[in-house]
Amino acid sequence: MSNISPSSTRSPSLRQAQAALAARQTTALALTRQALGTAENCKHSVNAFSVIAWDRALQAAADSDVRISQGRPRQLEGLPIAVKDLIDTKDVETHYGSQAYLGHLPTADADIVQVLVAQGAIPIGKTTTHEFAWGVTTSSAAFGNTLNPLDRSRIPGGSSGGAAAAIAFGAIAASLGTDTGGSVRIPAALCGVVGFKPTFGTLSTRGVFPLAPTLDHPGLLGESVDDVAILADALQIKAPGSGAWVSARVGVLREIAPIPLSPEVARAFDSAIACIEEVFACVKFDALDLFDAVYEAFASIVLTEGAIEHFKRNDWGRIVTHYGAQTVERLERAKALALGDYSQAQQTRRRFAAHLRERMSALDYLLLPTCPCTAPLLDAQLTSIGHWSGTVREALMTYTAPFNMAGFPAISIPLVGVDGALPASLQIVARPGQDGALLQIALQMERILRGKTPSRQPHGHHQERGDG
């Protein structure tokens, strides 16, 4: 195992930073300089940043300090965050993980960036992504691979791999990401951080480069659920302060066929469920054939919609000369797709979403692993888990993509593992529209998994900094 950054340079949690700013124990400029310095170290060590925005960040921090000194701080005043390279940032290079867009300077912030910046958040840089977010490894022939800070011989997951790696490294406490089939939750799971995808359509995708528009969700990553909840609150996703979570009805789904759990994920998941069952009434969720053909339909939709987006923007000559080989190969395959294949995939999706809604009608939350295995090795294309063999992509996405297909909100929180072991994660899924309640239950389950008593106090006044 490689060591992650020294703890002295780790960014504080968003709540710690807010408290220190409010007590005038630090300044936005000092917090931002520290984050920028650690981000440079992170870029050099694990290649998690594509661009570090020194000028914009320092200017914003100076403005924040003026507001704080005048007694008029905004909700996120002076808090450093990162933004995935798929999401536009005004006058900060955004190349969507592709050489085709090197030097591209957006003229406006994406809507979600705009909201957070208007509340005083300070984007310190752009985190790396798989080219056009079309992959789960955040590897790049053009820009080099992003490494998992917990073990640099392994992938951080993708496509928001840079964001998860930057948080695990300690450069920032929270970041904006995107999730089309698991791209926030998978890297969160493999790097031992938190990844949240709200209900489809809750957050604006304007200013985000599309992968598959009917599946794309902006999302949030943080070191803890509280870090995610603070950003979500500014985006109008508010965790309720009531104790309603106590009576939550919880379903448990251990596996999604055909992919079993690796022994280490199975151990971590079973032990987590045993802890959760001491607090919540849990029932076994019988998936039967619920997930049959869902992954294949998902892959077909991404290929079709992804191709439409790229053929709309660039001619074939530019694609072949400027895109990476993996993306070119996918677009070549997409040319042969028939509309019938796409319509069939959408019908499979429609049926699945209806069945999932029906099966979830008696439940508030569904618990399952985020990924069936821990972080695969760099450059591994194929993997085996128990009796199953297949691509790393299918292994990592089978447990996450269904909830993009159905548009349900989902969050990944790390499970407490053995010291030195790679992280495994718990995925919590809620019904559409229950985004705030999902964050609330995740806060409580995070406490349970860290061996703390769940809190009945209103959200935001009880969070302690965990080690996870």
Does the pTM of the predicted model rise above 0.85?
yes
Instruction: State how far the Cα of 348 lies from the Cα of 62, in Å rounded to an integer.
Output: 52
- Residue 205 to residue 373: CA distance in whole angstroms: 30
Under DSSP, the state recorded for 87 is B
CA atoms within 13 A on the CB side of 248: 30
- Band of residue 418 on the pLDDT scale cut at 50, 70, 90: low
Q: Quick one: fold of 8-291+345-449?
A: Amidase signature (AS) enzymes (3.90.1300)
Band of residue 8 on the pLDDT scale cut at 50, 70, 90: low
3 Cβ contact partners less than 8 Å away, ≥ 6 residues apart: none
Question: For residue 234, what pLDDT band results from cuts at 50, 70 and 90?
Answer: very high
Tens of pLDDT, residues 301-318: 999 999 999 999 999 999
d(CA 157, CA 160): 7
CA distance 3 to 132: 30
Backbone angles phi, psi at 282, to 5 degrees: -110, 140
Residue 233 has a CB neighbour count (10 Å cut-off) of 18
Residues in the chain: 468
The stretch 407-423 carries a mean pLDDT of 88
